[in-house]
A and B are shown apart, each in its own frame.
Chain A
């Protein structure tokens, strides 16, 4: 699971998405103001600039099920920050597959290092 800083007014905080190490592909929900796919920041997974990723314990072998859940459900409901946003949709797909989401705060605590550890390929 990864986070990265959100870009573009009026959005603030961190965007969260799911990342599959095997396929090197990610999936998530984007709150979009109509910007293009690459202009509002890109989801590039672990070991790439600006991305903060953490392994999900016990997720080996469940990557396909989690990514399928995301492709079916990431966009369900009305987007609302903190209630139904990219963080919630990622959590839902992990939990529905019996996985515990790692911490992924919407904002970095002031003056502290990001809580998710970087890990590279």
Chain B
């Protein structure tokens, strides 16, 4: 059986999959918010760390994607940030001029977003991202503050 090339191929594929994934997964929390006029959508994705729960205080990788809401439209802005937090949650607020403010926060180590919100616990501000929409150029300009 060991000489059967099919088994060697299956073994190689399995090895590629396991090695390619670093042998474990990352917790991911994501969400979206559309602008008031329905023209734009921000998709927020936060990845936690390997071998840790999302609610652990670890490095979090934040991905921001702003796209027109029209199907198959190309992204207008794509950014990535890194910060340290527990279960990182956020509020994304669009104003009438299509400017966007995203406030990231957590509730402390081991406390999930849903538990923190349900118990009305105080939040820790982690990161604030501000994107101003430039109507003339049709793009978003970042103004970030920590």
Q: Which residues of A contact B (CB under 8 A)?
A: 9-11, 17, 23-34, 36-39, 42-45, 48-49, 63-65, 67-68, 70-76, 78-81, 85-86, 89
Contact = CB atoms under 8 A, between A and B. Distances in A.
B54 to A, nearest CB: 4
B53 interface: yes
A71 B29 contact: yes
B41 to A, nearest CB: 8
- Chain B residues touching A, range: 35 or more
Nearest to A41: B45
Given A29-B26, A71-B112, A75-B27, A24 B45 contact: no
A22 B54 CA distance: 20
A75 B80 contact: no
B35 interface: no
Given A36-B63, A68-B112, A74-B54, 16 more contacts: A24-B31, A25-B31, A27-B27, A27-B28, A29-B28, A38-B64, A42-B30, A44-B43, A48-B32, A64-B115, A67-B114, A71-B53, A71-B113, A72-B54, A75-B27, A76-B53
